[in-house]
Amino acid sequence: MKKLIITLIAIIFIVAVMALINSCATSKDVAEKSGSELWGENCGRCHNSPSPSDFSDTQWEIIGNHMKLRANFSDEEVNKMVKFLQSGN
């Protein structure tokens, strides 16, 4: 029984480490992508993507903060997408 518990703890530890490693790899992907790439890959999944000129710079900041919570975006993702969208005004 003791060996089984130790084996299960080891498996849980390995899975946790692998999840941590994968989350770091995602950060590298985000770092290499532009705001337009992130916007194109993400925003059209759930709704029609608005044109960058549809909203003001201030409105894009508000929308970015809202979508950060709704779509679970990182600060870096939101900042890149908002800057891209604000450049369309």
Alpha helices by DSSP H, listed for 1-89, are 2-32, 35-42, 57-71, 75-86
Gap between the Cα atoms of 70 and 73, Å rounded? 8
DSSP letter, residue 54: G
Spell out, as residue ranges, where the chain has pLDDT lower than 50: none
pLDDT of residue 23: 55
Domain locations in the chain as residue ranges: 1-32, 34-89
pTM of the model: 0.67
